[in-house]
Structure 1
Amino acid sequence: MPSTSLPAANPFAAPSPLPYGLPDFAAVRVEHFRPAFEAGLAQQRAEWEAIASNPEPVTVANTLDALESSGALLDRVQAVFFTLVSSAATDEIRTIEAEVAPRLADHSDALWLDDRIYTRIVEAARNLDESTPAETRWVLDRYRTLFERAGITLSAADKAHLRELNGRITSLETQFSQRVVAGMEAAAVHVPDVGELAGLSAGTVSSLREAAQDRDREGYLITLGLPTPQPVVGQTTNRTLRERVHTASLSRGTGLDSASDTRQIVLDLARLRAERAQLLGYAHHADYVAQGATAGTTDAVNGMLARLAPAAARNAMREAEDLTIALQADSPDAQLAAWDWAVYADRVRGQRYAFDEEALRPYLELDRVLTDGVFYAAGQLYGITLTERPDLIGYADGVRVFEVHEADGTALGLFLGDYYAREGKRGGAWMHTLLDASELLGHRPVVVNNLTINRPAPGEPTLLTWDEVITAFHEFGHALHALFTAVRYPSVAGTSVPRDFVEYPSQVNEMWAWHPQVLAHFARHHLTGEALPVDTLDQLRASQAYGVGFDTTEYLAAAMLDQAWHQLTPEQVPTTPGEVEAFEAAALQKAGVALDLVPPRYRSTYFNHTFGGGYDAGYYSYIWSQVLDADTVDWFRDEAAEGTDGGLNRTAGQRFREALLSRGHARDPLASYRDLRGRDSVIEPLLRRKGLL
């Protein structure tokens, strides 16, 4: 039996002595992970066994509280390890990840398939009296539901089969994620001659040279981000280069590079998830996911997506007509292609609204966007302040640590900002926690935001696109959700809400990037300090209405593709890798979003959200959450505004914090929404926003 103890020299052996329990990253070495995982797994198994076999009468304290308090060592090692997996992975880290993934799946099953603990949870709930807090009642009921969704009522033989399926699924998700990262590296486009980079800014050219040098290559290297659209494709005037980069992006995982081919994994995951769903009594995996989310049913998901798709596709094709005219003004015989879209959309937007996206960048310097924009807006709404702590060390070069305080000076937690791309860091942007807030455990939150901005040459400023500004506000919305948690139990802290609710608060936070007071505070020229000209701001606002057809269609194509794979039965899943692209094409055609000019934001072969795990059958969540988001933006601007402040006031912020951000999953999230709005959400604000009415 593995030892539950860990040598004191291992930094995971005891809680970190650093402020707020921030992991001591400087002390952690790769060789510490395997023994820490071994001891952590064994220690929590022993704690679960003690709960299951406790001869004392069942109470909340010896059952629910004991469960929520278990696994401290495992939590410490997982927080650090999976931060490195996503943000600073090495080959050795990836090897350990592949080893521990199936063991963690088996470890999870050890809890959720333990009849003794399930029985104690049911009995604890039955023995409650009127003085029991509502959160405790909710969490006990949630545990019961999670046990039942995990298969606790299955026969012994079916439980054994379920364990096997869970282990295989987890291993495949890990393999998929690792191959997606390898695919981004393999598909990077090498450009030997600077003359091929026509149209790119000097700063972008410099960053491409840096990327090549970081990988010991001559010339310039265009590294790829996770989604289909790549920024360079929208910037260069070299049409051949645009096609080359776009094609490289679309071809990831399709077998051109055997080491990053994901097609067989896609098929295996779709089949195994479908098999598991049926074993658990659901029609398919999407049915299983929807019933555990706020959507409730796949009919609800399908109905919403189907309502949006036709109008979005029509809008996209109307936009394509404008772009074709612009393209043929340059090349009369040219036919518009997907790799032309971004360039000519910017041109049409610029002509129609006299707006130049590149002219905006000098006003969007990263540090100013953060301190005078993202943090400033949070201060205006919630009274919090963030102070950088250079004495606290992050997990990689460039990670910044901030201490967060309430308006009265009370310490709230830590915020880590990791904004630059690096080798071994996955694409995209995300938030996660190193420590969840919990009254039971006495923890305050330690929260991380990740972006993947290209690092400029030494001495050069980091100038953002407007999309990157919005992303910074979005991810900090997740951070606020975690920082403001005021719950007893860590399992329901912060963003531990259903997947189709979690994006809602972060999407609301995007609105403050547009607020005149906030914009005037952060959008200043990085050299002169000059404010963004009013006419440029007006042009930016007006221009954002253009291109919604493309944006909505590419998103919906990915969301409907996710549903198509996960609404299959095991027998319906294709059997050979060569069928993946044909299935994808047929699914998009059926959904009405098979537009060559607007490929899905993610194709199946690099759709890490769904095949890497986390958003499987749940990518619809972003648009589902936008219904709540758009309705809440109306609340801030109309009902919560004081005079002409557009809702940027402490009263509105405190109301949003108390009703929603502080609640985590300590009650039904839709009850939190109704607490704020006084009613259920309506879809009309979203339809207006997207021009779909």
Structure 2
Amino acid sequence: MSDQNPLLSPSVLPYLLPDFAAIRVEHFLPAFEAALAEHDREIAAILEQATPDWENTVEALEKAGQALSRVSAVFFNLQGTDSSPEFDEIAGEVVPQLSAHSDRIYQNPELYARLKALTPPADEESTRLHEHLLRAFRRRGADLDEAGKARLSEVNQRLSVLSENFGRNLLADTRELAVRFDSAAELAGLGEGRIAAAAAYAEETGVAGWVLPLELPTVQSAQSDLDEPASRAKLYEASQRRGEEKNLAVLLETVRLRAERARLLGYGTHADYVIEEETAGSAAAARELLFDLSPAAAANAAGEHKLLTEAAAEKDEEVAAADWSYWENKVRERDFNLDTDQLRQYFPLDQVLRDGVFYAAQRLYGIQVTLREDLQGYAEGVQVWEVSEADGEGIGLLLTDYFGRPSKRGGAWMSSFVRQSQLLGTKPVVVNVMGITRPSDGSQPLLSIDEVTTLFHEFGHALHGLLSDVRYPSFSGTSVPRDYVEFPSQINENWAFDPAVVRNYARHVDSGEIIPGELLDAVEAARQFGQGFATSEYLAAAIIDLAWHSLSPEEVAEVGDDLAAVAAFEERALKEAGLVVEDLAPRYRSTYFNHIFAGGYSAGYYSYLWAEALDADGFDWFRGSGAAGEQAAEETVRRTGQLFRELVLSQGAARDFSGAFEELRGRAKDVGPLLRRRGLAGAA
């Protein structure tokens, strides 16, 4: 079978890059079947060893399942970027099988007993792995009786199906609710290129007129530029209708089963279960952070809303919920002389990527990124890059998939096809994904400030995967707590507008002129304006996430089962936190909150803010070390970058996270820099 199925043997391409040209959708089901059986045999072989030791138990467990990891990585990456009915049908079949397979391993009493009998080697990584495995087995039901294990497995399998269904339903609604306009005049304010792209998207999807596809958050980026209030409202309203019919029952059942599972495993709530593994340590700590900041964020947002209302009144207009970002943009232009359309002209995608994102990484970490035109991605427009040390030694591969497609789920993310591991002898293959609208004339897309920042953010995740240098695959790269994994990515955002970096890539698309200093000054001056809105919409989503996952099974039943009940639940949660702002909606409402109902962030959406505290304080360290700013010397940048690489990027989960940060900073984290950045200096 392996001769015919390219998934059943390791790729012969550089760095084990999957041979995408040879892989067809019909390969996946037989590949999953064979890989699951192979993993079962590998686990059985571990149990046949007479006397357990580190090599024949833990290292054998780490080595087992490589075929399953390979097939799963390819399948789920492709499903996320190019979903189809065929992929969805396969997922519906294999997702519960994978859940049941995982439960059989973690609930195996003989394997658990072997692990408990072992004494790990004295090095920190091995000791941490042993603790991690024992904790993982306990958290997956190894200590339950047979009835408890059976019920837990039932719950896990159903939850895996619900997660798959939520994401599939959201993608379907996102496609169906993409907003069609009858005339280009309705899109006034977007600029010729973006209007042409909307016409091209309509043609691509077989619809007459002009179509704006929906993005993942509530507020759509086009709302900041559309001059017509009716057009802004049309886009905003469509965004909030996603999942109302298809995902309502899914999310309620998901919350109920997560609460049941937590109780079964001895936890008060799902939030307690999840956050035990995070650096926050407890749901109470996460809640305290959110609740402490909410009143001040709401007050800032209300003050911003007043400014916007005054600006709109000068034009005899009003500010409704759909208009907030538009008038924020206008006030920013007026008060900070910041023309966002003018700014885009300095940010062509390829220029930002090569001369900004890659250039910053080369300055900091000494790495080189080279396009490999001989290697093929999995879809049109996907490029493959080789990442190497300064001396030419290969580190791994980066795939970039930046253009939106109707088949691609919303948002931006980083994922892995191959994880780095000294034990397995593997080097990383990672992918960065975004949903940028491709210009219809084939020209380079001109990015917004948010898109530039996202490009740097996702490459920060990529660096975490690429520069990993650990022994065990369980600890590789981004295999760290959710409230730590965002630390390297958010640190990397800071380099987007560092003077030495931005002047290397921000050149006018037509003239090649370097971005004027006054325009950069305007960007910096405007940076804190709008933080009230941005912080509040984020906090609102994080509070809703934590509220759902702090319920007992009985409390879930009391919520109700219709849209009005869910809306009332969201409203109560926000009111309790002191976060009620006129015309401001959460970044995600429950029915389209992909992060928590189809992603890995349930009870963990707070983690972006938790990690931002590390980021803000950590970037102060870069500044204090002389590595950031106009006068930064190259040798200083390189020295501090190398230290960050050694202490953070290379370590994965192989060492204590707080210890790594404290060694970097010389002390525990300070939330002061975060509060100043967010305009909340008096909040806590």
Q: Same fold (TM over 0.5)?
A: yes
CA RMSD of aligned residues (A): 1.3
CA distance in 1, matches of 2:671, 2:186: 46
- 1:488 maps onto 2:478 in alignment: no
**What's the secondary structure of 1:434's corresponding residue?**
strand
CA distance in 2, matches of 1:64, 1:158: 26
1:498 maps to 481
1:92 maps to 86
CA distance in 2, matches of 1:564, 1:646: 47
2:118 maps to 124
CA distance in 1, matches of 2:134, 2:655: 15
Offset of residue 646 of structure 1 = 8.1
Instruction: Specify the code of the residue in structure 1 equivalent to 2:115.
Output: I
1:419 maps to 402
1:681 maps to 669
CA distance in 2, matches of 1:113, 1:663: 29
CA distance in 1, matches of 2:148, 2:633: 56
Residue-by-residue CA offset, 1:370-398 (whole Å, 9 max, x unaligned): 00000000000011000101110011110
CA contact (8 A) 1:314 1:549 kept: yes
Offset of residue 298 of structure 1 = 1.1
- 1:582 maps onto 2:568 in alignment: yes
1:224-239 superposed matches below 5 A: 224-239=214-229
2:593 maps to 607
CA distance in 1, matches of 2:562, 2:576: 21
1:323 maps to 308
2:204 maps to 214
CA contact (8 A) 1:636 1:646 kept: no
Offset of residue 595 of structure 1 = 2.5
Offset of residue 195 of structure 1 = 1.8
**What's the secondary structure of 1:330's corresponding residue?**
coil
CA distance in 1, matches of 2:343, 2:239: 27
Offset of residue 640 of structure 1 = 5.0
Residue-by-residue CA offset, 1:344-386 (whole Å, 9 max, x unaligned): 1011111111111111011100000000000000000011000
- 1:565 maps onto 2:548 in alignment: yes
1:555 maps to 538
- 1:111 maps onto 2:105 in alignment: yes
Instruction: Specify the code of the residue in structure 1 equivalent to 2:640.
Output: A
1:190 to 157, 167, 180: 180
Where structure 1 has 5 or more consecutive residues not aligned to the other structure, the ranges are: 1-5, 256-260
1:341 maps to 324
1:509 to 463, 488, 492: 492
- 1:662 maps onto 2:666 in alignment: no
CA contact (8 A) 1:399 1:417 kept: yes
Residue-by-residue CA offset, 1:459-515 (whole Å, 9 max, x unaligned): 322110010000000000001111111101011000000111100010000111111
**What's the secondary structure of 1:363's corresponding residue?**
coil
Offset of residue 642 of structure 1 = 8.4
CA distance in 1, matches of 2:442, 2:259: 52
CA distance in 1, matches of 2:387, 2:656: 28
1:402 maps to 385
1:258 maps to none
Offset of residue 596 of structure 1 = 3.9
- Higher mean alpha-carbon deviation, 642-651 vs 232-241, is at 642-651
- 1:152 maps onto 2:142 in alignment: yes
CA distance in 1, matches of 2:425, 2:672: 42
Q: Against the structure 1 CA distance between its residues 39 and 596, is the aligned structure 2 distance closer, same or farther, given a 3 Å change threshold?
A: farther
CA distance in 2, matches of 1:533, 1:678: 37
1:314 maps to 299
CA distance in 1, matches of 2:278, 2:444: 42
Q: Against the structure 1 CA distance between its residues 558 and 646, is the aligned structure 2 distance closer, same or farther, given a 3 Å change threshold?
A: farther
CA distance in 2, matches of 1:458, 1:62: 58
- 1:352 maps onto 2:332 in alignment: no
**What's the secondary structure of 2:409's corresponding residue?**
coil
Residue-by-residue CA offset, 1:192-212 (whole Å, 9 max, x unaligned): 211211222001101101110
- Higher mean alpha-carbon deviation, 189-198 vs 81-90, is at 189-198
Offset of residue 234 of structure 1 = 1.1
CA distance in 1, matches of 2:495, 2:368: 17
1:387 maps to 370
Instruction: Specify the code of the residue in structure 2 equivalent to 1:66.
Output: A
CA contact (8 A) 2:301 2:581 kept: no
- 1:83 maps onto 2:94 in alignment: no
Instruction: Specify the code of the residue in structure 2 equivalent to 1:520.
Output: R
1:455 to 423, 426, 438: 438
1:639 maps to 625
1:271 maps to 256
The TM-score normalised by the length of structure 1 is: 0.96
Offset of residue 631 of structure 1 = 0.6
CA distance in 2, matches of 1:436, 1:99: 26
CA contact (8 A) 1:267 1:577 kept: no
Count of residue pairs the alignment pairs up: 676
Instruction: Specify the code of the residue in structure 2 equivalent to 1:9.
Output: Q
Instruction: Specify the code of the residue in structure 2 equivalent to 1:172.
Output: L
Instruction: Specify the code of the residue in structure 2 equivalent to 1:76.
Output: R
CA contact (8 A) 2:8 2:35 kept: no
Where structure 2 has 5 or more consecutive residues not aligned to the other structure, the ranges are: none
1:649 to 628, 637, 641: 637
1:618 to 571, 589, 604: 604
- 1:530 maps onto 2:520 in alignment: no
Instruction: Specify the code of the residue in structure 2 equivalent to 1:392.
Output: L
CA contact (8 A) 1:638 1:646 kept: no
Residue-by-residue CA offset, 1:386-428 (whole Å, 9 max, x unaligned): 0101110011110000011101111111011110001211111
**What's the secondary structure of 1:554's corresponding residue?**
helix
**What's the secondary structure of 1:682's corresponding residue?**
coil
CA contact (8 A) 1:447 1:479 kept: yes
2:8 maps to 13
Q: Against the structure 1 CA distance between its residues 108 and 640, is the aligned structure 2 distance closer, same or farther, given a 3 Å change threshold?
A: farther
CA contact (8 A) 2:622 2:628 kept: no
CA contact (8 A) 2:302 2:582 kept: no
Which ranges of 4 or more aligned residues in structure 1 deviate by more than 4 Å?
A: none
Residue-by-residue CA offset, 1:424-469 (whole Å, 9 max, x unaligned): 1111100011000000010000010011100111332211001000
Instruction: Specify the code of the residue in structure 2 equivalent to 1:635.
Output: W
2:359 maps to 376
CA contact (8 A) 1:637 1:646 kept: no
**What's the secondary structure of 2:369's corresponding residue?**
strand
CA contact (8 A) 2:421 2:470 kept: yes
Offset of residue 148 of structure 1 = 1.0
CA contact (8 A) 1:375 1:386 kept: yes
